[in-house]
Structure 1
Amino acid sequence: MSSKNELDVYLFHRGEHKRAYEFMGAHSIPGGIIFRVWAPNARSVSVVGDFNSWNGRNHSMKRINAEGIWEVEIEGLSEGTIYKYAIEGQNGTIVNKSDPYAFYSEVRPNTASVIYPMKTYEWTDEKWIKRRDKLNHYENPMNIYEVHLGSWKRGGDGEFLNYREMADDLAKYVKNMAYTHVEIMPVGEYPLDASWGYQGTGYYSVTSRYGNPEDLKYFVDALHKKNIGVILDWVPGHFCKDTHGLYRFDGTPTYEYSWNLLGENYDWGTANFDLGRNEVRSFLISNALYWMREFHIDGLRIDAVANMIYLDYGKNGHPELRNEYGGNENLVAVEFLRRVNKAVLEEFPGNYVFAEESTAWPMVTKPDYVGGLGFTYKWNMGWMNDTLDYMSKDSLYKKWHHENITFSFVYAYAENYTLPLSHDEVVHGKKSLIDKMPGSYEEKFPNLRCLYGYMMGTPGKKLLFMGGEFGQFAEWKFDEGLDWHLLDYPKHKEMKRYVRDLNRFYKREKSLWEKDIHGDGFQWIDCLNHEESLISFIRRGKDKDEFLVGVFNFTPVERRGYKVGVPRFTVYEEVFNSDLKIYGGNTEKVREEIHPVREGWNDMKQHILIDVPPLSAVYYKGKFKRRG
């Protein structure tokens, strides 16, 4: 064994290998392919495929160390050869397994791995990468369009589009709609379409549903050329139990916890990764970096973090699931998350890692050296639940639930938050966003415009799932394209224009994002008007003259001559109004000038008098400088 290979083996078994995919798996050598796989409790391992009629007698692998790495060189094999590992367990049972480190796989329902040497791709996104690495993303706009690649659009006969076919259309669409990032649901190989990619088998294998690895690179490159970042959903907590996958890989728990109570995820029918096992850590940390190195992914959104950090998550507080100190925290998972976040941000300091974490676990976005988990952002699930609950109520009852729209501001700066209106909120009988809104067909649209306008003013980065931008009425369906035909109807066309203009407004106004993680970037004007279900607040930028006054009316009643305290005695102008006729509302045009009154109101020395449209989000700005 070469000295380099010895180092690979050493790092792999210590859980410190950050490029495990360059050593493990199938790789080209002069005249053929070398295969390596980790199967510590296997009695024997062979490589099988069409090339040997799926009989591994002549291609047995040699165990190269006591910790269970197996290796064989096979001459004459090349790119495109399909293969699996025939793994004999200690009981003599042989199971054919896909390669955990394969870069490509057969199109489902077939399950074999495909020899696919990583190719050199001619990237054209150098400007984007340089800009990304220099940018302080905390103090810049981040407005994310979440996409499921299999159902954004479909081909004429309902077939999947290729990554390349989607790339240019999606990049142009997202650019026009003024989003800053796209988040794509998992693209590692997975067997069941209905799992949306969250129950995987091939963590390094770009799903062949939509093309090959070079096609995915083209997709990312195309978005980067439009100055659109790409975030990838990543699932290091659990994996599916299909026979050809990671489950019981060598006949025993290998990638999953050995204790069934901890290793089995009964609610989801999956298995939980053993995040304390060194070889699993090398596998997963290398995988996180793989997507960033090889595919120029800008960020990862880690799915189901709560399932990882609580021993008894989904187990009804099982008394046996306790750590050495008696708590229910999964200490090895906590350490793993700190390691993976540190590894990502050390190598890619301009990138970001999001936690989809639904509990009150403290310091999720604080550094590991102060006891945090080290994420850059956390999805604000509390804001999402409270806000959607409030917005779905009839306006008559909102005054009794006013805290649902104000409470999230109490903890808005406890973490670096992202506000998610994601795919999870528009499936499984939860209704689409537009259909959650109360009232008739016509009344739902101003409610939704108000929600989006309020969301843009709330501290935190933004995320909206595809279809929400034009008011898709049906719940999301993973097996068909969005209802783009709705854009033939005026209300949906107006909604799309509204979201586009709102996104552009967000990007333009520094006060909506420059101090997203600083508490002095937000100030209440009035959070107590529950009787009229109306709130107002200030968002501030770094410049003392950079601020917006936002007023939000959550009822269908116009409030005429409404007093709003303002922080400076200057002329104000209305800079955004969700009730404009071009968006389907009733207001003809914005008010160009509003002069304040020197009378104290809302604990401020002056106020403005405004007419607040029904179900509206309206923003005002002081006229201190010439606006370009």
Structure 2
Amino acid sequence: MATSTALDHDIYLFHQGNLRYAYQLLGAHFETQNGEEGIRFTVWAPHAVEVNVVGSFNDWDGSQHPMKKVNDNGIWSTFIPNLSTGTVYKYELLTPHGHLQLKADPYAFSSELRPNTASVTYPLHQYDWNDEEWMNQRKETNLYESPLSIYELHLGSWKNIEPEVFYNFREYANMIIPYVKDLGYTHIELLPVNEHPFDRSWGYQATGYYAVTSRYGTPDDFKYFVDQCHQHGIGVILDWVPGHFCKDEQGLRRFGGEPLYEYENPAKAEKTQWGTLTFDFGRNEVQSFLISNAIYWLKEFHLDGLRVDAVASMLYLSFGKEEGEWEPNEYGGPENLEAVAFIRKMNEAVFEEVPNVLMMAEESTSWPLVSAPTYVGGLGFNYKWNMGWMNDMLKYIEMDPIHRKYHHNLITFSLFYAFSENFVLPISHDEVVHGKKSLLNKMPGDYWQKFANLRAFLAFMYAHPGKKLLFMGTEFGQFDEWKDLEDLDFELMDYDSHASIKHYVGQLHQLYREHPALWEFDHQEEGFEWIDANNYEQSIVSFVRNSSCSRDQLVIVCNFTPVVYHDYKVGVPAEGVYEEVFTSDAVHFGGSGQLNGNLLHTSNVPWQGQNQHVSMTIPPLAVSFLKRTSTLEEDMS
């Protein structure tokens, strides 16, 4: 590797933990040296006594292509001429203990199809993007005051050729994009697509952090998927796992014979709950590796955001461990101070390099200011999953309606903290697997009531402050919980109830996207006002969603029992004429058809803290959306 001032500076930044594009320095790169085309291999392996490049091109004989040390901090490099795209390779490392290791390249862009584990050379910049319009528009979008509804999916079980045999990213693009667009989602969120050895880890236990999994194709195939999504107006978010990595021998574990990417102290390194290892967040080179990885996915693949998995497991040394299995920090607390500092550093780097993307934390504790900027003491994400809302609502909606009045606080408590963070309301894969049942099958009651409960739950979710996320299958009422080795039960849509739910989700999204009151002030207190939060006896709540235009205001009334109420008084914030613009009880959604077909004129009699009210029909297990269509004066003229 040629020496230059720029190269020396990159190496310096790498060892300082500040090289944000480390994947351009490390890994396998196509170059021309001394007039010869070939590949430069560069790896960080400070514990290794000797490092060689091996592959089919040299019969896996390490003596043929030894690497040379570039510096005393463990960077090794060599140039091998006449190698091309698709070259299969590994690093052969001689450890201080005299053992030979065969390791995949930590910075490889592609890998062999499992169960094979070698890295594969692949050029980084050959794809011709056609999403300029989307990317320019993204720069101008206010993420917080825009609709955001996410369809979370696992490619291999959305649809497959047969169990463990999958379609290509390009084929998935042609199938998924029209489906998601028809449903009205704004974004797709993919479970991890970096290389992982075990299908049933769903990508959350990785070996190749820079390698697009070969299960679904090449890096360019994945770029095509994202490109096509963007051309059809759909954003793409990727699940990303900087908290831990799996222990498979070809991976990062004991790279060069000693702990390197993981903590040296087993009490900090071991993720006993998952059988994985924690990154050493205090090691500078690991910081360069992870921060560069986040930027790599966002920049090179034009992704619109990362959902950062298991943030709580990074923040707490005690996460998933019993007393005596972890050691407190220097102040005696359970917080991993190095991880906290890393997370802040990572988010600062991401937003400086790739402005206006989504950095979403799946953080399950009450850690404060997760989605606040670092300069005010926050972690620097711009969104946090609202796990409290999710747990409360699922607990509530699974109850028989006769018991719900005793647990009314479960549907109201979230509004005490709804604006403390920028929240996403998630119903993710974790809630419909491992015996938890599908969302539809969580619902109590007979067949009709299950669907009515599901419609009411979804309508309440979309009316509640916060952005939205639903896992695949929910949109048509998957009865079985997520079967990760099989594809979705799309054949259920041959039945009216399931076809009606899919139609309902599409119409709910249309309502959501067309009414700024449902998203413009998601993170501001003025965007929400209770009308009646206290009617626990009838399990009815009503509230207002506001926007910057008062005429866009919506009144939402939710009934979580199967009882119909006629001439039910609901206080409204302004006098005039109200229209029911949406109800989950409509017949074409599978409901009972208890509609408010006539315009609702306000009565000038105070009610529920409002100066006027309307009398309406409250449908069973349903949510009604009312909008003021005219003032009283306009109606009389």
TM-score by length of 2: 0.97
Match of 1:121 in 2: 127
Match of 2:8 in 1: 6
Cα contact 1:312–1:318 (8 A) shared by 2 = no
Cα contact 2:31–2:39 (8 A) shared by 1 = yes
Q: Secondary structure at the match of 2:188?
A: strand
Partner Cα distance (1:486, 1:9) in 2? 56
Match of 1:79 in 2: 85
Match of 2:474 in 1: 468
Partner Cα distance (1:120, 1:343) in 2? 26
Cα contact 1:133–1:348 (8 A) shared by 2 = no
Given the alignment of the two structures, is residue 349 of structure 1 paired with residue 325 of structure 2, yes or no? no
Q: In the TM superposition, what is the alpha-carbon distance from 1:33 to its structure 2 partner? A: 1.4
Question: Which of 228, 234, 246 is matched with 2:240 structurally?
Answer: 234
Match of 1:316 in 2: 322
Partner Cα distance (1:305, 1:158) in 2? 29
Match of 2:455 in 1: 449
Q: Secondary structure at the match of 2:156?
A: coil
Q: In the TM superposition, what is the alpha-carbon distance from 1:571 to its structure 2 partner? A: 0.3
Given the alignment of the two structures, is residue 140 of structure 1 paired with residue 146 of structure 2, yes or no? yes
Deviations, residues 109-138 of structure 1 (Å, cap 9, x unaligned): 100001112132211111111111101010
Question: Which of 31, 53, 67 is matched with 1:47 structurally?
Answer: 53
Name the aligned partner's letter for residue 129 of structure 1: M
Name the aligned partner's letter for residue 199 of structure 1: Q
Partner Cα distance (2:187, 2:492) in 1? 24
Deviations, residues 232-262 of structure 1 (Å, cap 9, x unaligned): 0000000000000001111111100110011
Q: Secondary structure at the match of 1:230?
A: strand
Partner Cα distance (2:85, 2:358) in 1? 34
Match of 2:615 in 1: 609
Match of 1:295 in 2: 301
Name the aligned partner's letter for residue 13 of structure 1: H
Partner Cα distance (1:120, 1:624) in 2? 57
Partner Cα distance (1:89, 1:487) in 2? 57
Match of 1:90 in 2: 96
Residues 321-470 of structure 1 mapped to structure 2, 5 A cutoff: 321-470=327-476
Partner Cα distance (2:44, 2:620) in 1? 63
Name the aligned partner's letter for residue 451 of structure 1: F
Q: In the TM superposition, what is the alpha-carbon distance from 1:29 to its structure 2 partner? A: 2.0
Given the alignment of the two structures, is residue 256 of structure 1 paired with residue 256 of structure 2, yes or no? no
Cα contact 1:598–1:606 (8 A) shared by 2 = yes
Cα contact 2:29–2:41 (8 A) shared by 1 = yes
Cα contact 2:54–2:60 (8 A) shared by 1 = yes
Partner Cα distance (1:307, 1:121) in 2? 36
Q: In the TM superposition, what is the alpha-carbon distance from 1:157 to its structure 2 partner? A: 8.3
Deviates more, 1:61-70 or 1:301-310: 61-70
Question: Which of 184, 187, 201 is matched with 2:193 structurally?
Answer: 187
Cα contact 2:594–2:619 (8 A) shared by 1 = no
Question: Which of 549, 554, 564 is matched with 2:570 structurally?
Answer: 564
Cα contact 2:596–2:616 (8 A) shared by 1 = no
Name the aligned partner's letter for residue 335 of structure 1: A
Name the aligned partner's letter for residue 44 of structure 2: W
Q: In the TM superposition, what is the alpha-carbon distance from 1:546 to its structure 2 partner? A: 2.1
Partner Cα distance (2:211, 2:365) in 1? 32
Partner Cα distance (2:302, 2:259) in 1? 33
Deviates more, 1:369-378 or 1:116-125: 116-125
Question: Which of 52, 63, 68 is matched with 1:62 structurally?
Answer: 68
Q: In the TM superposition, what is the alpha-carbon distance from 1:624 to its structure 2 partner? A: 3.5
Deviations, residues 422-458 of structure 1 (Å, cap 9, x unaligned): 0000000000000000012222000000000000110
Given the alignment of the two structures, is residue 217 of structure 1 paired with residue 223 of structure 2, yes or no? yes
Q: In the TM superposition, what is the alpha-carbon distance from 1:32 to its structure 2 partner? A: 1.7
Given the alignment of the two structures, is residue 545 of structure 1 paired with residue 551 of structure 2, yes or no? yes
Distance 1:221 1:332, change over 3 A: same
Partner Cα distance (2:324, 2:542) in 1? 45
Q: Secondary structure at the match of 1:11?
A: helix
Q: In the TM superposition, what is the alpha-carbon distance from 1:156 to its structure 2 partner? A: 6.8
Match of 1:106 in 2: 112
Partner Cα distance (2:389, 2:338) in 1? 29
Residues 468-617 of structure 1 mapped to structure 2, 5 A cutoff: 468-587=474-593, 590-617=596-623
Q: Secondary structure at the match of 2:178?
A: helix
Partner Cα distance (2:447, 2:351) in 1? 46
Deviations, residues 202-232 of structure 1 (Å, cap 9, x unaligned): 0110000001011101100111011111000
Name the aligned partner's letter for residue 202 of structure 1: G
Name the aligned partner's letter for residue 6 of structure 2: K
Name the aligned partner's letter for residue 243 of structure 1: E
Cα contact 1:145–1:179 (8 A) shared by 2 = yes
Partner Cα distance (2:299, 2:164) in 1? 33
Please tell me the root mean square deviation across aligned C-alpha atoms, in Å: 1.3
Deviates more, 1:24-33 or 1:313-322: 313-322
Partner Cα distance (2:326, 2:406) in 1? 42
Given the alignment of the two structures, is residue 269 of structure 1 paired with residue 275 of structure 2, yes or no? yes
Given the alignment of the two structures, is residue 152 of structure 1 paired with residue 142 of structure 2, yes or no? no
Question: Which of 304, 321, 325 is matched with 2:310 structurally?
Answer: 304
Q: In the TM superposition, what is the alpha-carbon distance from 1:499 to its structure 2 partner? A: 0.6
Cα contact 2:602–2:612 (8 A) shared by 1 = yes
Cα contact 1:97–1:243 (8 A) shared by 2 = yes
Q: In the TM superposition, what is the alpha-carbon distance from 1:408 to its structure 2 partner? A: 0.5
Name the aligned partner's letter for residue 610 of structure 1: M
Cα contact 1:548–1:620 (8 A) shared by 2 = yes
Deviations, residues 11-60 of structure 1 (Å, cap 9, x unaligned): 10000001100110111122321111111111111111111111101211
Deviations, residues 248-291 of structure 1 (Å, cap 9, x unaligned): 11111110011001101111010001111110010011110111
Deviates more, 1:60-69 or 1:102-111: 60-69
Q: What number of residue pairs does the alignment pair up?
A: 626
Q: In the TM superposition, what is the alpha-carbon distance from 1:2 to its structure 2 partner? A: 1.7
Match of 1:24 in 2: 26
Deviations, residues 54-109 of structure 1 (Å, cap 9, x unaligned): 11012111122111111111222221110100111111111100000000000001
Name the aligned partner's letter for residue 80 of structure 1: G
Match of 1:176 in 2: 182
Partner Cα distance (1:271, 1:20) in 2? 22
Q: Secondary structure at the match of 1:150?
A: helix
Cα contact 1:575–1:590 (8 A) shared by 2 = no
Distance 1:624 1:321, change over 3 A: farther
Cα contact 1:184–1:232 (8 A) shared by 2 = yes
Name the aligned partner's letter for residue 532 of structure 1: Q
Q: Secondary structure at the match of 2:614?
A: strand
Deviations, residues 324-343 of structure 1 (Å, cap 9, x unaligned): 22211111111111111111
Structure 2: unaligned runs, 5 residues or longer: none
Name the aligned partner's letter for residue 352 of structure 2: E
Cα contact 1:565–1:603 (8 A) shared by 2 = yes
Deviations, residues 370-389 of structure 1 (Å, cap 9, x unaligned): 10001010000000000000
Q: Secondary structure at the match of 1:357?
A: coil
Question: % of aligned pairs identical?
Answer: 54
Partner Cα distance (1:441, 1:46) in 2? 64
Partner Cα distance (2:404, 2:596) in 1? 27
Q: Secondary structure at the match of 1:46?
A: strand
